[in-house]
């Protein structure tokens, strides 16, 4: 009897605590849907899908909406002016990326002294001063002059892509799969210093790693449990690693990859003859003198040819990336560079096969450039204005990273709202990109000319969020643009891409929605006809 009574009291107290926890957003004056005491608003997100569900919330509650990702309170901000404060002007108050699987951020001090190489210090997850330090060293690696050094390596990988397309003859094929192997190949050659055979070998190390990393979506029931109850956080990670091993005969290919990169780094440190003009070498050589000289503008990645010298020399002790730093960030570039760039190429191709007039205009631009410039490289493809417009418009309608988050570092007033320290802020790129108030009544239509020089200047600087904005935007933005431009320009110079029997309709494309990444679930099927 006493045991039953104690259990009943414990349950009541827990429910009262839970109810109090789920009232935090309302207490801050932030409107939003009523949460379930067990799972917050995750049931609606899973049942309807995050794009539809959040679209309904924004339409009902406005451009600032609070919801609960399991037990984690999150505030969606879809107001461009407020986003400028969050991402740029008040950046120091929103400097960190949160972990949505944990309602309260806790720093495990003992973990800070124990490194798990390849995982623990990736730039995406670093915080505060440590993030600024590594970002300051890495950002100059992606200047235009450095990108020029890597264009030949990318072109070598694109040669393999074109060879494989030629082998298809008149058959229909899924070009998304080919793009995935292309971007893996590029990351292998540039960030890992490894000559891969990923575009031809189905058992390649990079392909095996990808099968483990990129297979979850928002309908996974483990996500529901691990996000709703903090004590079950470990499930999400554990199930992920079990899947990795299940698809790789009980082994973890990531460990193989990490050891391979360790060997390459050690070789380059000891033998100058093994140096190459790739991203890995740039990280090995990167250095900075004085962190105090770094400004927010220095940390912000650019998507044009603007050069900026970061960190003037002060005579202080030079800071370089350790081997562990380089290894961790090589893995990070694989995680964020493989799926996002291949998906951007896939969605852009989807539009081009459904808008043959845009494809023909783009092909003519490429052919004219080849006649005057010769080979396609970093400098020449950046002269393809219409290609730039097409890629931007595709990324607007289908941003691979459809949402990202920031954590409030201190209590802050954001317009009429008061956000408490530790609150998670969500930027919904998908809804920003399709907002008629920012893009007009034709916001859902594919119109590359939106990004023409004369029209681009009229776009609100926060309306386009495919790579984020401000000092914590995507550091590899210029790298991704170069890879996409080179691949598309060379592909269209050689082939006309047309629909096939398996091609999904323009508006009927089936999407796979992972926690942050949007991809075409069934691929992009087409035929390639020689020009």
CA-to-CA distance for 341 and 474, rounded, in angstroms?
12
Residue 307: is its pLDDT beyond 60?
no
Condensed to tens digits (0 to 9), the pLDDT of residues 160-177 reads 999 999 999 999 999 999
**Distance in angstroms between the alpha carbons of the first and the last residue of the chain:** 83
Indicate the SS3 state at residue 349. helix
CA-to-CA distance for 65 and 312, rounded, in angstroms?
42
Q: What is the pLDDT of residue 205?
A: 79
Residue 102: is its pLDDT beyond 80?
no
pLDDT category of residue 7 using cuts at 50, 70 and 90: confident
- Output 338 or 528, whichever has higher pLDDT: 528
Structure tokens at 166: 């030629």
% of the chain beyond a pLDDT of 90 = 49
Q: What is the pLDDT of residue 311?
A: 43
Mean pLDDT within 385-392: 98
Q: What is the pLDDT of residue 375?
A: 86
CA-to-CA distance for 189 and 181, rounded, in angstroms?
12
Indicate the SS3 state at residue 318. coil
Mean pLDDT within 17-30: 88
pLDDT category of residue 345 using cuts at 50, 70 and 90: very high
With 0-12 CB in 10 A as exposed, 13-18 as middle and 19+ as buried, what is 370? middle
Residue 462: is its pLDDT beyond 70?
yes
Residue 211: is its pLDDT beyond 70?
no
| Residue length of the chain | 531
With 0-12 CB in 10 A as exposed, 13-18 as middle and 19+ as buried, what is 520? buried
CA-to-CA distance for 299 and 20, rounded, in angstroms?
39
Q: How far is CA 11 from the centre of its chain?
A: 41
Phi, psi for residue 426 in degrees, rounded to 5: -110, 130
- Output 351 or 215, whichever has higher pLDDT: 351
Mean pLDDT within 399-428: 92
pLDDT category of residue 221 using cuts at 50, 70 and 90: low
Residues 6 or more apart from 78 whose CB is under 8 A from it?
Answer: 58, 63, 64, 65, 428, 431, 432, 435
Q: What is the pLDDT of residue 313?
A: 40
Residues 6 or more apart from 56 whose CB is under 8 A from it?
Answer: 48
Phi, psi for residue 338 in degrees, rounded to 5: -75, -60
Condensed to tens digits (0 to 9), the pLDDT of residues 35-44 reads 998 889 988 9
Mean pLDDT within 519-523: 95
Q: What is the pLDDT of residue 111?
A: 37
Q: What is the pLDDT of residue 387?
A: 98
Mean pLDDT within 296-315: 57
For helices 205-213 and 323-354, angle between their N-to-C axes, nearest 10 degrees: 80
* Residue in 508, 509, 506 with CA at minimum distance from that of residue 519: 509
In sign, the C-alpha dihedral spanning 501, 364, 166, 488 is: negative
Sheet strand arrangement including 72-77: 64-69, 72-77, 424-428, 403-407
Residues 6 or more apart from 216 whose CB is under 8 A from it?
Answer: 223, 240, 514, 515
Residue 431: is its pLDDT beyond 90?
yes
CA-to-CA distance for 41 and 49, rounded, in angstroms?
12
pLDDT category of residue 109 using cuts at 50, 70 and 90: very low
CA-to-CA distance for 364 and 360, rounded, in angstroms?
6
% of the chain beyond a pLDDT of 70 = 83
Q: What is the pLDDT of residue 141?
A: 84
pLDDT category of residue 350 using cuts at 50, 70 and 90: very high
Indicate the SS3 state at residue 494. helix
CA angle 523, 526, 528 (to 5 degrees): 135
Phi, psi for residue 65 in degrees, rounded to 5: -135, 135
54-68, 244-258, 480-494: the lowest-pLDDT one: 244-258
Q: What count of other Cβ atoms lies within 10 Å of the Cβ of residue 23?
A: 12
Q: What count of other Cβ atoms lies within 10 Å of the Cβ of residue 411?
A: 12
Q: Binding site annotation covers 474?
A: yes
List Cα–Cα distances, 240 to 209, 216, 234, in angstroms. Answer: 12, 8, 10
DSSP string covering 138-180 = HGGGGSHHHHHHHHHHHHHHHHHHHHHHHHHTTS-EEHHHHHH
CA-to-CA distance for 48 and 98, rounded, in angstroms?
24
CA torsion, ordered 87, 93, 97, 101, to nearest 10 deg: -130
Q: What is the pLDDT of residue 112?
A: 36
* Residue in 452, 164, 136, 169 with CA at minimum distance from that of residue 290: 136
Mean pLDDT within 319-325: 81
Residue 10: is its pLDDT beyond 70?
yes
Q: What is the pLDDT of residue 315?
A: 43
* Residue in 407, 401, 399, 444 with CA at minimum distance from that of residue 423: 407
Mean of pLDDT over the chain: 85
95-109, 117-131, 133-147, 174-188: the lowest-pLDDT one: 95-109
Structure tokens at 139: 């950002």
pLDDT category of residue 312 using cuts at 50, 70 and 90: very low
Are 45 and 32 in contact by the 8 Å Cβ rule? The answer is no
* Residue corresponding to tokens 């393809």: 384
């Amino acid at each position: 009897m006493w045991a039953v009574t104690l259990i009943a009291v414990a349950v009541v107290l827990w429910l009262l605590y839970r109810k109090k926890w789920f009232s935090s957003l309302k207490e801050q004056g932030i409107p939003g849907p009523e949460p379930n005491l067990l799972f917050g608003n995750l049931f609606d997100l899973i049942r309807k899908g995050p794009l539809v569900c959040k679209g309904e919330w924004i339409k009902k509650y406005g451009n600032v909406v609070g919801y609960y990702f399991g037990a984690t309170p999150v505030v969606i901000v879809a107001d461009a002016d407020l986003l400028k404060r969050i991402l740029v002007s008040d950046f120091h108050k929103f400097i960190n990326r949160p972990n949505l699987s944990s309602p309260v951020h806790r720093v495990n001090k003992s973990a800070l002294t124990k490194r798990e190489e390849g995982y623990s210090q990736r730039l995406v997850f670093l915080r505060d001063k440590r993030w600024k330090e590594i970002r300051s060293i890495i950002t100059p690696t992606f200047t235009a002059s450095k990108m020029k050094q890597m264009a030949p390596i990318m072109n070598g990988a694109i040669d393999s892509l074109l060879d494989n397309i030629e082998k298809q003859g008149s058959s229909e094929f899924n070009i998304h799969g080919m793009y995935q192997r292309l971007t893996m190949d590029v990351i292998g050659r540039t960030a890992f210093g490894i000559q891969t055979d990923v575009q031809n070998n189905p058992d390649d190390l990079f392909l095996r790693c990808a099968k483990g990393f990129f297979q979850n979506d928002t309908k996974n029931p483990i996500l529901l449990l691990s996000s709703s109850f903090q004590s079950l956080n470990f499930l999400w990670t554990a199930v992920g690693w079990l899947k990795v091993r299940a698809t790789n005969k009980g082994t973890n290919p990531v460990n193989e990859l990490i050891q391979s990169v360790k060997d390459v780094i050690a070789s380059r440190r000891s033998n100058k003859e093994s140096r190459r003009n790739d991203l890995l070498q740039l990280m090995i050589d990167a250095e900075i003198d004085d962190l105090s000289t770094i400004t927010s503008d220095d940390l912000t990645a650019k998507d044009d040819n603007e050069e900026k010298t970061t960190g003037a020399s002060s005579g202080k002790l030079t800071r370089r990336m350790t081997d562990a730093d380089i290894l961790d960030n090589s893995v990070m570039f694989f995680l964020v560079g493989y799926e996002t760039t291949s998906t951007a190429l896939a969605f852009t191709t989807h539009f081009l096969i459904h808008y043959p007039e845009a494809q023909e205009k783009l092909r003519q631009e490429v052919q004219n450039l080849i006649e005057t410039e010769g080979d396609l490289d970093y400098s020449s493809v950046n002269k393809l204005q219409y290609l730039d417009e097409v890629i931007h418009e595709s990324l607007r309608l289908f941003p691979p990273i459809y949402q990202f988050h920031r954590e409030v570092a201190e209590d802050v007033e954001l317009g009429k709202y008061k956000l408490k320290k530790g609150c998670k802020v969500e930027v919904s790129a998908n809804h920003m990109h399709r907002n008629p108030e920012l893009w007009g009544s034709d916001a859902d239509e594919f119109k590359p000319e939106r990004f023409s020089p004369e029209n681009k200047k009229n776009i609100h600087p926060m309306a386009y969020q495919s790579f984020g904005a401000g000092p914590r935007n995507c550091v590899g933005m210029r790298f991704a643009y170069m890879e996409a431009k080179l691949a598309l320009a060379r592909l269209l110079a050689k082939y006309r891409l047309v629909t096939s029997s398996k091609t999904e309709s323009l508006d009927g494309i089936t999407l796979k929605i992972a926690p942050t990444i949007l991809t075409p679930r069934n691929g992009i099927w087409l035929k390639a006809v020689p020009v």
